C-alpha cells in the first residue's frame, strides 16, 4: 500500500481525508503537532507527532515512509484570530509550509496536494467566484494561504514539484458513520457553535453582523460536506499520479446560504430552537463567498453528493450528540 503523508491528519478535515485515503487503498501517515488536532482522530494509519518547522523530524518521516505524495492540511484557520495575531499565522502557516515543501523536494517526493481557501479571494463584487478571480485577501489567514500557493508555484517551476491546490469554501458535516467529526477547542465555526447553543453546551450564538449588503443582512457562505471535500483530494492525488500537471480547483457547490438560513435549517433538522442574538461584524469577514466548482467537476470528475445544508447539519448533529475526542 502506497504511503501518503497527511499533515494535520489529526484535525477535522485531515482525519476525514485519512479515512477516504484508506478506503481508496492508500496508507495515510499522519504528521501533526496536536495543537488543534486529536490523537483519538488518528484511526486509519500510523501517527507521527511533530512540528512542521522541525526539519529533522520531517526528514526522518520522509526517510522512513517514503510517501508517494504529501497532503498538507496542517494550518491555523481562524479568520478572527488571524486579525488579532497575524504573526502567528505567518509563522505557523507560511514558515511551517515552507519547511515542509523544502523537505518534500529534498526527499524526492514529487506530488503535493495543498488545502487552500476561498479566503484568498477577499471581498469581490457580487459574483460566483472561479479559479481565475483575483486573489486579494482581506485577512491574515487568507494572506498566509495565498503565500503558500506562491511558494508551491515557485517550487513547481524550479524543482518540478507537482501540485494540486484546493481552495475550500465553508466545510461542514461529519463522517456519516461517526468515526470522525468536527471538534475544535476553542470552537469558532458557525455550524458546531450553533449545535452547541441548541443543546445548551454553550450560551446563545452571536450572529456576526446583520448589516451586510445581502438579502437578510447576514454573510453568505458556500457550505461543502467534509466527505465530498476529501473525495476531491483523493481525485487530486490520482490526477498527480497520472501526471496531469499543476492545477487549482475551487471546492464549493455554487449555492450560498446566509447565517440566518443556516440557523433556520438547523432548527428544522434538529427540531429545536437556536438561541441566538445579533452582534457586531467580526473583523476580516467577507460579505459573500460562493464558488463555482465547474472545473473540479469537469476535470477531476468530482461529484459532490452530500453537500446539502440538510445533510451537512444532520451528519454534524449526529456526531455532535455522540462523538467527541478526549486526547
Q: Does 207 bind ligand UDP (CB under 6 A)?
A: yes
Q: Residue 258 CB, nearest distance to ligand UDP (Å)?
A: 8
Give catalytic status of residue 141 as yes or no.
Answer: yes
Question: Number of H helices and number of E strands within the chain?
Answer: 11, 14
Q: Residue 256 CB, nearest distance to ligand UDP (Å)?
A: 10
Alpha-carbon gap, residue 165 to 233, rounded angstroms: 9
By three-state DSSP, how is residue 23 classified? helix
Q: Does 92 bind ligand UDP (CB under 6 A)?
A: no
Q: Among residues 190 and 237, whose Cβ is nearest to ligand UDP? A: 190
From start to end of the chain, where are the E strands?
3-7, 27-32, 47-49, 69-72, 111-117, 162-168, 170-172, 205-208, 220-221, 223-225, 247-251, 257-258, 276-279, 288-289
Q: Does 129 bind ligand UDP (CB under 6 A)?
A: no
Least Cα distance to 244 among 168, 167, 164, 302 occurs for: 164
Beta bridge partners of 6: 30, 71
Q: Residue 131 CB, nearest distance to ligand UDP (Å)?
A: 18
Q: Does 205 bind ligand UDP (CB under 6 A)?
A: yes
By three-state DSSP, how is residue 213 classified? coil
| Spatial contact of 100 and 58, defined as CB atoms under 8 Å apart | yes
User: Which of 65, 89, 121, 141 is flagged as catalytic?
Assistant: 141
Q: Does 259 bind ligand UDP (CB under 6 A)?
A: yes
Q: Does 174 bind ligand UDP (CB under 6 A)?
A: no
Q: Does 290 bind ligand UDP (CB under 6 A)?
A: no
Q: Residue 312 CB, nearest distance to ligand UDP (Å)?
A: 12
What residues are annotated to the active site?
141
User: Which residues form the interface with ligand UDP (CB under 6 A)?
Assistant: 79, 170, 188-190, 193, 205-208, 219, 221, 259, 282, 285
Amino acid at each position: 500500500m502506497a504511503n501518503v503523508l497527511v499533515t494535520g491528519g489529526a484535525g477535522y478535515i485531515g482525519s476525514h481525508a485519512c479515512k477516504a485515503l484508506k478506503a481508496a487503498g492508500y496508507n495515510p501517515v499522519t504528521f501533526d503537532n496536536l495543537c488543534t488536532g486529536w490523537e483519538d482522530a488518528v484511526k486509519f494509519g500510523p501517527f507521527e507527532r511533530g512540528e512542521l518547522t522541525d526539519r529533522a523530524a520531517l526528514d526522518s518521516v520522509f526517510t522512513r515512509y517514503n510517501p508517494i505524495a504529501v497532503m498538507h492540511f496542517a494550518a491555523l484557520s481562524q479568520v478572527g484570530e488571524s486579525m488579532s495575531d497575524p504573526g502567528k499565522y505567518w509563522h505557523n502557516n507560511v514558515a511551517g509550509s515552507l519547511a515542509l515543501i523544502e523537505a518534500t523536494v529534498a526527499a524526492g517526493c514529487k506530488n503535493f496536494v495543498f488545502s487552500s481557501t476561498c479566503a484568498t479571494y477577499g471581498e469581490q463584487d457580487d459574483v460566483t467566484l472561479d479559479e481565475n478571480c483575483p486573489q486579494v485577501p482581506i485577512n491574515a489567514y487568507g494572506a498566509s494561504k495565498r503565500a503558500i500557493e506562491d511558494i508551491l508555484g515557485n517550487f513547481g517551476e524550479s524543482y518540478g514539484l507537482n501540485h494540486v491546490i484546493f481552495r475550500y469554501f465553508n466545510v461542514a458535516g461529519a463522517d456519516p458513520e461517526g468515526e470522525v467529526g468536527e471538534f475544535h477547542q476553542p470552537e469558532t465555526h458557525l455550524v458546531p457553535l450553533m449545535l452547541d447553543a441548541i443543546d445548551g453546551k454553550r450560551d446563545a450564538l452571536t450572529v456576526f453582523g446583520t448589516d451586510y449588503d445581502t438579502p437578510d443582512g447576514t454573510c453568505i457562505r458556500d457550505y461543502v460536506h467534509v466527505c465530498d471535500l476529501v473525495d476531491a483530494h483523493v481525485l487530486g492525488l490520482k490526477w498527480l499520479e497520472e501526471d496531469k500537471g499543476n492545477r487549482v480547483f475551487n471546492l464549493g457547490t455554487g449555492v450560498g446560504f446566509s447565517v440566518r438560513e443556516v440557523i433556520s435549517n438547523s432548527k428544522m433538522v434538529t427540531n429545536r430552537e437556536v438561541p441566538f442574538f445579533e452582534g457586531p461584524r467580526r473583523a476580516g469577514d467577507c460579505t459573500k463567498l460562493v464558488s463555482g466548482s465547474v472545473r473540479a467537476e469537469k476535470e477531476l470528475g468530482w461529484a459532490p453528493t452530500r453537500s446539502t445544508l440538510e445533510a451537512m447539519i444532520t451528519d454534524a448533529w449526529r456526531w455532535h450528540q455522540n462523538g467527541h475526542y478526549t486526547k
